[in-house]
Amino acid sequence: MNFAFSEEQEELRRSVRRFLEDRSPVTEVRRLMETTEGYDPAVWQQMAEQLGLQSLVVPEQYGGAGFSFVELAVVLEEMGRALLCAPFFSTVALAQSALLHSGDEAAKTEWLPKLAAGEAIGTVALTEAAGRPGLEGIETRAIRGQEGWTLEGTKLFVLDGHVADLLLVVASTDAGPSLFAVTKGAPGLSTTPLPTMDQTRKQAKVTFSGTPGTLVGTEGGAGPVVEKMLQLAVVALAAEQVGGAQRCLEMAVDYAKARIQFGRPIGSFQAIKHKCADMLMEVESAKSAAYYAAWAAAEDNEELPVVSSLAKSYCSEAYFHAAAENIQIHGGIGFTWEHDAHLYFKRAKSSELLFGDPAYHRERLAERIGI
């Protein structure tokens, strides 16, 4: 078992990093996070046409490149490092994943080519007022009528829900939780952007009022689909968190070398050395957890339910600690709006809570290994 990246994977990393440095520098991140849409359509198309990022893990039969989850983890790590403002995570890690595991050939044939080509943005609407990351407390209802299914209810914290062309909605039916496809502009569909701490990842409130939806998969069959999607989503998020944590470490070390105090770099002081050393240890450990989870996802290994929770819990805390220590090492300037440290801090905190906080995933981990 070799966890070293291949030369092709490293070249993918270099290509994505060059692209993001050119098309998504921090000045562009700051501009986009102030907009309602939260992304640049031109860059979105370039990601699809020039780099093929949206098609990375889509099978070739649906117009994709057919790569594995390991390549996706490499890309997400670079996106986390750059704080990319784009609906990539919602489209690839959520919508594509749900479709691929839905078992619905018609839905896959209709939507995966569009999502892979960057012609459509997708997301999954799961969470409701209770805020639980799973299927508990789903109150949105799907009602079967003579003309098909209609949806009633409200979803919260839907990633990129206000710009999505395809919303995969989890709703309750008499047979249990089911998955429905709702298209942008459908009657009775209302989306409202939500104010968020992390402005680089947009979220929305989505309301359904007699909104027509198309059943994806089987009625009552959303449970296994959503469970698999969430496992893959937290692995994807862990990879993104690793990229952000690595960037925080680099920022802190660079500043510790350059900042002179009492006639010497602050990096020579023992307290700063210890902070940087602790950050390095946590970042490298987070990489190990995220990379192993990505391998398990790529292999669809039986360990995936366990290692996905392990990676999410550890990488969440490692990223948040690195982001907080980065601010501390920068001192007063680290607390200012003009410095980029707060952008990573907010992303770290938001990502820590997304799809369940570390305590939630440690509890799931304990259950799965029988503690």
Measured CA to CA, the distance from residue 47 to residue 202 in angstroms comes to 19
- Mean pLDDT confidence for 37-60: 96
Task: Identify whether residues 194 and 253 lie together within a single domain.
Answer: no
Task: Identify whether residues 88 and 28 lie together within a single domain.
Answer: yes
Q: What is the pLDDT of residue 371?
A: 80
CATH number at residue 138: 2.40.110.10
Considering the domain boundaries, does residue 2 fall inside one? Answer: no
Task: Identify whether residues 59 and 99 lie together within a single domain.
Answer: yes
Considering the domain boundaries, does residue 148 fall inside one? Answer: yes
* Structural domain span for residue 161: 122-220
Considering the domain boundaries, does residue 67 fall inside one? Answer: yes
Measured CA to CA, the distance from residue 214 to residue 148 in angstroms comes to 8
Q: What is the pLDDT of residue 267?
A: 87
Task: Identify whether residues 260 and 183 lie together within a single domain.
Answer: no
Task: Identify whether residues 72 and 156 lie together within a single domain.
Answer: no
Domain boundary residue, one of 116, 150, 183: 116
Residue 227 backbone dihedrals phi, psi, to 5 degrees? -60, -45
DSSP conformation letters of 209-270: EEEEEEEESSTT-HHHHHHHHHHHHHHHHHHHHHHHHHHHHHHHHHHHHH-EETTEEGGGSH
Q: What is the pLDDT of residue 261?
A: 87
CATH number at residue 327: 1.20.140.10
Task: Identify whether residues 233 and 362 lie together within a single domain.
Answer: yes
Question: Each residue of 272-287: pLDDT tens digit?
Answer: 999 999 999 999 999 9
Task: Identify whether residues 126 and 157 lie together within a single domain.
Answer: yes
Burial of 140 (0-12, 13-18, 19+ CB in 10 A): buried
Total-model pTM: 0.96
- Mean pLDDT confidence for 170-176: 95
Task: Identify whether residues 75 and 173 lie together within a single domain.
Answer: no
Check pLDDT > 60 for residue 1.
no
In this structure, are residues 251 and 276 in contact, taking their beta carbons and an 8 Å threshold?
no
Considering the domain boundaries, does residue 256 fall inside one? Answer: yes
DSSP H or E segment with residue 346:
helix 341-353
Task: Identify whether residues 258 and 324 lie together within a single domain.
Answer: yes
Residue 301 CB coordination number (10 Å): 14
Tokens read off for 31: 């501009």
Considering the domain boundaries, does residue 1 fall inside one? Answer: no
Question: Each residue of 94-120: pLDDT tens digit?
Answer: 999 999 999 999 999 999 999 999 999
Considering the domain boundaries, does residue 179 fall inside one? Answer: yes
Look up residue 25 and give its amino acid: P
Task: Identify whether residues 19 and 148 lie together within a single domain.
Answer: no
Q: Which of 160-174, 263-277, 298-312, 339-353 has the lowest mean pLDDT?
A: 263-277
Task: Identify whether residues 45 and 22 lie together within a single domain.
Answer: yes
Domain boundary residue, one of 202, 220, 238: 220
Residue 331 CB coordination number (10 Å): 12
Q: What is the pLDDT of residue 2?
A: 61
- 3-class DSSP assignment, residue 51: coil
Task: Identify whether residues 234 and 332 lie together within a single domain.
Answer: yes
CA 112, distance to chain mean position in Å, is 18
CATH number at residue 90: 1.10.540.10
Q: How many domains does the chain have?
A: 3
Q: What is the pLDDT of residue 76?
A: 98
Question: Each residue of 52-84: pLDDT tens digit?
Answer: 999 999 999 999 999 999 999 999 999 999 999
Check pLDDT > 90 for residue 319.
yes
Domain boundary residue, one of 163, 191, 220: 220
Considering the domain boundaries, does residue 177 fall inside one? Answer: yes
